Each structure stands twice: as C-alpha cells, then as structure tokens.
Amino acid sequence: MSGLFALLPAGGMLAAEESSGAAVSFPILTMLILVPFIGAVAVALTAKSRPEITKLIALMASVGTGALSIWLLFAFEQGEAGFQFSSKHAWIEQWGIGWHLGVDGISLFLIVLTGVLFPLAIVGIDAHHDEKPYLAWLLMLQAGVMGSFLSLDLFLFFIFFEIVLVPMYFLIGGWGYENRVYAATKFFLYTMFGSAFMLVGIIATAMLARQDVGYLTFDLVEIAENANFSANVGRWLFFSIAIAFAVKVPIFPLHTWLPDAHTQAPTAGSVVLAGVMLKLGTYGFLRFGLYLFPEAAVWSRSLWLTLAVIGIIYGAIAATMQKDLKRLVAYSSVAHLGFIILGTFAFTTQAISGSVLQMVSRRTSLAARSSSSSA
C-alpha cells in the first residue's frame, strides 16, 4: 500500500512546469484551469445581442481545454512515479498557501474526461433560455473541476472544491425543471455541510503538521511525507475531510440530495453531475484521505466497506422501482459508487486500480445515459 501512494514531490519552487525532470515552457496544468475561466469571463462580457458569438466563445474555450487535456494524455510518461508537469508557486506565503498543481496516474484520465465531456455538453445541448449565463456557469464549473483534480495544496483544493458548488447550484436553480429551487437548495446545503467540516480539518491538519514540517504549509506532499500525526489525531482529521467526500460521492445515508439534483438539473447539468462531479468524492478519498491519513483509513475501513455494501444493495433496489429514467440513473449511481468505495478501501493494488478504472468508464456511460434520458 505504501508503494501505491508514494507520490514524489515536485522538487522546489518552479518558475515553469516540469515533466519527469524536463522543463516545459508551456504551463499546461495552469492553462487547463485558466482557459475555461477566461472563457467564462469572456462569455459574461459578451453582448446579449450576439448570441452566436457567445456560443462560439464558449465552444472555443471548452474545446481548447479538451485539446490541452488530450495533449497531456499523450505527453504523460508512463512508468514514472510521482507527479508530472508539476507547477509550484508561492501564493499567500505567510500562511503557507501555494499554487501547487500536478498530475499522476490517478488524476490523468479524470482530467481528460473532464476536458472531453464539457465541449460535448455545450455543443450538443441547448440552454432553451438565457444562454449567456448558462454557458458562463458551465465554463466556470469546468475550471473548478479541473482545479480540484490538479490541486496539490490543501487550501487551493478547498477553493476549487467550493467553486464547483456555485455554478452547479445556479445551473440547477436557473435551468432545471419544476422543483429546481428545492433540488438546488438541498444540493447546496448538503455540500456546504460537508465543506464546513473539510475547512476545519484542512486548517487543523496544516497547523498540527507545522511541528513536524518546521513551518506552516498546506502543501499536500510536504505534509504527507513529513507530518507524523498520532493515531487519535489522524483519525479525527481523516473524518473531518471524509465527511465532505462522503457527501460528494454520495455514500449512504448521505445520498438523498442526489436523486432530486439529478432529476431537476438541466440536461447538461445531469451529464456533468454524472460524468465528473460525483467522482470528486471518490477521488478525494484516494488523493487526500488515504494519502494523508493511511492509519486512520485502515482503522475505519470496516465502516466504509459496510456503508458501501449497504449503498450497493439499497441503490440497486431503489433503481428497479423508479419510473423516471433520471432518478433510475441517480440511484444506480449510488450503487455503482458503492463499488468504487469498496475497491478503494479494500487496500489492494488490483482493487484500487479497479476503482480508478470504474471512475472513468462508469461515469462515461452514465453521462451518455443522462443525456439520452433528457432528450
């Protein structure tokens, strides 16, 4: 297990990004976040009288991001341990917060899936009304998801994790169906509930790790490699961030926001929700929970395995009883994500590799089904 999560540090403050020790002049990971963000701003500033320009800008930004992600896929060096294309810059130096990005085998295909899925959602699905803010929120959502998968700084990850919440709230509430306000509010409250615990846990982790690291930092790799939390402290910190990921997955019994959000969301929202957003929770368990607090993860594995099995059985039974196809997809997601959690906490190389594979393959098929169910 230790070999699986032995992620190597990027190696100091870099002015450019690196890939396996070779300097890369083009900041690919930063651009994966900036391109959709700039596209969202450009769409928001476009005149309402030129809707064709608005759609073109959104499409160019999303396609450009997708092209960058595909380039990253082919440039990624297989067999190289640790993070590649790492980008590390001081941001709020006195608080130990930095702009630290990196990609490895766990996040690579999730980034590619995010880059490819959003252009399809934009070009294949019409907003029906108020297209300008709709496209701006979609691009902002893409930037937030990309940032979440790329962040190697705890505070930076928290920011992107929360950025994802805002666009989805407005997409459901503004372009959803008859009960959209209820579904959007429920989604927002559940996610904010988990995020409050995460913020406390992240700050506490950085403060307590200061004794071992020697200075205040939110850097994931530095804390994971240098901090030595006691068993009780590590378990409390693990559960503080695990609550947020359990809500985002979602794990039974924190799943009740998903059927409403999935059913009431506009088609593009359902596609993105099924395709990439839910896996932020499973990815978070792997990247942050198991990597930072391996002892706590092993200690609590029985709880997560039990909840995963309950979710699998409950989700499957509930899915067979649904008459609405989107609700069927939502409940089947609870079951399928239970299998991913099951693989994650089995703590074998094969099981964890299978859970990562399921994150990509299952979400791709569900995104397609979400699109067809709304057609």
DSSP, residue by residue, 21-34: TEEESS-HHHHHHH
Could you read off the pLDDT of 21-62 as tens digits, one per residue?
A: 344 567 899 999 999 999 999 999 987 777 778 889 999 999
Spatial separation of the C-alpha atoms in residues 265 and 273, rounded to whole Å:
9
Could you read off the pLDDT of 86-132 as tens digits, one per residue?
A: 888 988 888 999 999 999 988 999 999 999 999 998 887 777 778 88
Q: Residue range 318-332: average pLDDT?
A: 86
Q: How confident is the model at residue 135 (pLDDT cuts 50, 70, 90)?
A: very high
Tokens for 369, please give them.
């089904």
Q: Buried b vs exposed e over 48-64: b needs ≥16 C-beta within 10 Å?
A: eeeeeebbebbbebbbb
Q: Residue range 173-180: average pLDDT?
A: 87
Non-local (6+) Cβ contacts of 168 within 8 A are 141, 187, 261, 265, 269, 272, 273, 277
Output the pLDDT for position 11: 34
Output the pLDDT for position 306: 95
Output the pLDDT for position 1: 39
Output the pLDDT for position 23: 41
Spatial separation of the C-alpha atoms in residues 246 and 254, rounded to whole Å:
7
* Number of Cβ within a 10 Å radius of residue 10: 22
Q: Residue range 316-343: average pLDDT?
A: 88
Residue 175, pLDDT > 70, answer: yes
Residues of the chain with pLDDT > 70, as a percent, come to 90
Half-sphere exposure (CA, 13 Å, Cβ side) for 235?
9
103 SS3 class:
strand
Could you read off the pLDDT of 148-157 as tens digits, one per residue?
A: 999 999 999 9
Q: How confident is the model at residue 6 (pLDDT cuts 50, 70, 90)?
A: very low
User: Is residue 32 included in any domain, yes or no?
Assistant: yes
Structural domain including 308 reads 17-374
For residue 299, with 0-12 CB atoms within 10 Å meaning exposed, 13-18 middle and 19 or more buried, which class applies?
Answer: middle
Residue 215, pLDDT > 70, answer: yes
Residue 364, pLDDT > 60, answer: no
Q: Are 168 and 198 in contact (CB under 8 A)?
A: no
Spatial separation of the C-alpha atoms in residues 150 and 157, rounded to whole Å:
8
Q: How confident is the model at residue 362 (pLDDT cuts 50, 70, 90)?
A: low
Output the pLDDT for position 368: 47
Spatial separation of the C-alpha atoms in residues 244 and 241, rounded to whole Å:
6
| Nearest residue to 55 via CA among 150, 132, 168, 158 | 132
Tokens for 280, please give them.
């932020």
User: Is residue 11 included in any domain, yes or no?
Assistant: no
| Nearest residue to 366 via CA among 330, 322, 324, 319 | 330
Query: How many domains is the chain built from?
Result: 1
Q: How confident is the model at residue 352 (pLDDT cuts 50, 70, 90)?
A: confident
Output the pLDDT for position 350: 87
Could you read off the pLDDT of 226-278 as tens digits, one per residue?
A: 988 999 999 999 999 999 999 998 898 888 898 888 888 888 888 888 888 88
Please give the mean pLDDT across all residues of the chain.
Answer: 85
Q: How confident is the model at residue 363 (pLDDT cuts 50, 70, 90)?
A: low
Residue 141, pLDDT > 90, answer: yes
Residue 372, pLDDT > 50, answer: no
Spatial separation of the C-alpha atoms in residues 222 and 7, rounded to whole Å:
10
User: Is residue 9 included in any domain, yes or no?
Assistant: no
Please state which of the ranges 52-56, 201-205, 298-302 shows the lowest mean pLDDT: 52-56
| Nearest residue to 246 via CA among 282, 275, 272 | 282
Q: How confident is the model at residue 16 (pLDDT cuts 50, 70, 90)?
A: very low
Spatial separation of the C-alpha atoms in residues 335 and 317, rounded to whole Å:
9
Q: Are 123 and 59 in contact (CB under 8 A)?
A: yes
Could you read off the pLDDT of 69-87 as tens digits, one per residue?
A: 999 999 988 877 789 898 8
* Number of Cβ within a 10 Å radius of residue 230: 10
User: Is residue 6 included in any domain, yes or no?
Assistant: no
Q: Residue range 138-167: average pLDDT?
A: 94
Q: How confident is the model at residue 13 (pLDDT cuts 50, 70, 90)?
A: very low
